Amino acid sequence: MEHSRFRKPSIPLVLAGSLVAGIAWGALSRLFMRLVSTTPEFSWEGTLGIVGIGAVAFVLTGLVAGAMARGWSGWWRLAAVPALLIFAGQGLGLLPAAAGTFLAVRVRNVWLRSAALVAGLVGNYALLHSAIDFNWLQPRTLQLGLAVAVLSGAWLGLQFALAARPRAQRAPLRTATDVTRKVTV
């Protein structure tokens, strides 16, 4: 019987790690909102909404990643579908970086991988720069805000790529002949 090099991940551990990553992503997104806002106001509703959406999206994609690593049915991939709502509305600006990072992780050819990553990050920067009125911002704040947004989008793409990896193969069932063959050898 062959053993895998890696242990199968514990689902509660994967969910806990995904929750922490989602909260961190939400905090990073909240920082971006603070940096580019013309009237920076703090509200618990807005902050908890951003952090909560990030936490839920990362937990769902983490569940799918853990399920695929454990060799569960491919139907578990549907659990990540609600996480795609993160790109609705204001999250649309993160889509180019997320898609570029996703493709960069999933493609085998190094040139296509590099092109996807560069296109995604440059596209994210260009989209956000054209969509937001940055005339009132200091250049450093502008650069930091865009860097945070690009990083946030790339992080999302990486999380979705982890959830989309192939399902682990289950070990074949042992038969009586396998057992007797081992005993006689």
98 touches 153 (CB < 8 A): yes
Query: Which helix H or strand E contains 95, and what residues bound it?
Result: helix 95-106
Q: Which of 145, 48, 144, 29 is nearest to 87 (CA)?
A: 29
**What is the tens place of the pLDDT at every residue in 98-128?**
888 888 888 888 888 888 888 888 887 777 7
Instruction: List, for the chain, all residue ranges whose pLDDT scores fall below the cut of 50.
Output: 1-2
One-letter amino acid of 144? L
Collect all residues with Cβ–Cβ distance below 8 Å to 118 and sequence separation of at least 6: 100
CA dist., res. 92 & res. 5, Å (int)? 39
**What is the tens place of the pLDDT at every residue in 18-41?**
999 989 988 888 887 777 776 777
